[in-house]
Amino acid sequence: MTESAPPAPAAPAPGALDGADRSAAPAIDPMVDPVGPPVRSTHTNLALLALAIGGFAIGTTEFVTMGLLPEVAAGVGISIPTAGHVVSAYAAGVVVGAPVLATLGSKMPRKTLLLWLMGGFAVANGLSALASSYGLLMAARFLSGLPHGAYFGVGALVAASLVPAHRRTWAVSMMITGLTVANIVGVPLTTRLGQSYGWQWPYAAVAVLAAITVLAVWRWVPFCPPDGGATMRSEFSALRRPQVWFALAIGTVGFGGMFATFSYISPTMTELGGFSKGAIPLILAVYGVGMTAGAMASGPVSRLGLLRGIVVVMGTIAVMLALFGPAVAASKWLAVVAVFMLGLLPSALVPMLQTRLMDVAHEGQSLAAALNHSTLNLANALGAWLGSIVLSAGLGYEWPSRLGAVLAVLGVGIALASGITGRRSAQVARTR
């Protein structure tokens, strides 16, 4: 469905440069529209729903393996620790695929690229369901991860182009809601499916969801032209911008703190909080509810201004992580509240970081937006590794969250440095 785009909005006054906090109003860079020309759609909510269904499928396949490691290990004849490499294979696919596919597809119409990405995702998950050996499963999971970051990156650009500039973060958060809802509904249901009928069936179910996404995107998402000036060289030009690296560093370091805690959430709840193993699925569901609430709260919080909102949320994450261990040890009710906040606060940050990257990347939109998800997977690996070091040193389960608080404080420092550097750049530009 092709529809003509309305006239582009007027550019703001000069001075709203890389580091300036530009999101309190619908500001667009005077030289480059951050998301491309606005797109008129008579099905905006349905288009966002179509994008969210894809996020739901991705979130389900990303996390369901963690709950089925014993079944996967028995199914392909490996140990449970070795089965953990299957999770790593998917994460590696995300890290590699995000920049590569987003860059290679930069000249394609965005709707077309989304269709190809989700079609490939469906095939790769189908191959995961059919894998009969450890090697084949590892390859299939790597392939399944390749479209992840590019889909969310390009999908964020499409979502932002469907609404007025001041609602961009809200639109991005609605797309990401699919990922968060997957932790409430998709992961528990497919985990039960895999436990009852075999580990292959969750991957088959995700392949079906991906096929439904292809149909929904084709039907409801309007034609979204590519950036006419986009080339591989222009996409990689985003990496020459300090503000892009600041935003990526905030995600890597700041979210590393959250993953240092969440990676060990099950033993933390049982050993420190006194919960039974049977309560862990409910606790994970509480985490998923927090994630969904956080994604929906991101839009209102961003009205503070993107960079200001990032600093506020990251600082709140630092406080929450510092109190996480004592809260879990104090009482089960406080532990549940702490888990909810562990889901809510970082999820509120994701759409703001995504929008920030779109603002500062200029002509390298697709690559920068996709790299956000590469950094989150790097944060996953960083947090889990640092948490393992703390636990291996003989410290208790309250210590990964304390380490996470330190990382979150570093994230605040990076965000403040980003703002200071940006303001200096703006001042220099005004004096020329």
User: Which tens digits make up the pLDDT trace of 262-300?
Assistant: 777 777 888 899 988 778 778 878 888 898 888 888 878
- No. of helices (H) and no. of strands (E), the chain: 16, 0
Q: What is the pTM of this model?
A: 0.69
DSSP 34: S
pLDDT of 21 higher than 60: no
Q: Is pLDDT of 8 > 50?
A: no
What secondary structure does DSSP assign to 205-264, as a single string? HHHHHHHHHHHHHHHHSPP-PPPTT--HHHHHGGGG-HHHHHHHHHHHHHHHHHHHHHTT
> Of the ranges 19-28, 144-153, 417-426, which one carries the lowest mean pLDDT score?
19-28
For residue 40, which amino acid is it? R
Of 136, 145, 50, nearest to 100 (Cα)?
A: 145
Identical topology for domains 42-226 and 229-432: yes
pLDDT of residue 6: 40
Q: Report pLDDT digits (tens) over 73-118.
A: 889 998 766 776 787 788 888 888 888 887 788 778 889 999 999 9
Considering 34-48, 84-98, 130-144, the range whose residues carry the highest mean pLDDT is: 130-144
Mean pLDDT over all residues of the chain?
Answer: 80
CATH 1.20.1250.20 fits 229-432, yes or no: yes
The structural domains of the chain, with segments of one domain joined by +, span 42-226, 229-432
Share above pLDDT 70 across residues of the chain, in percent, rounded to a whole number: 83
Domain 42-226 annotated CATH 1.10.3720.10? no
pLDDT tens by residue, 154-164? 888 888 888 88
CA distance 283 to 188: 11
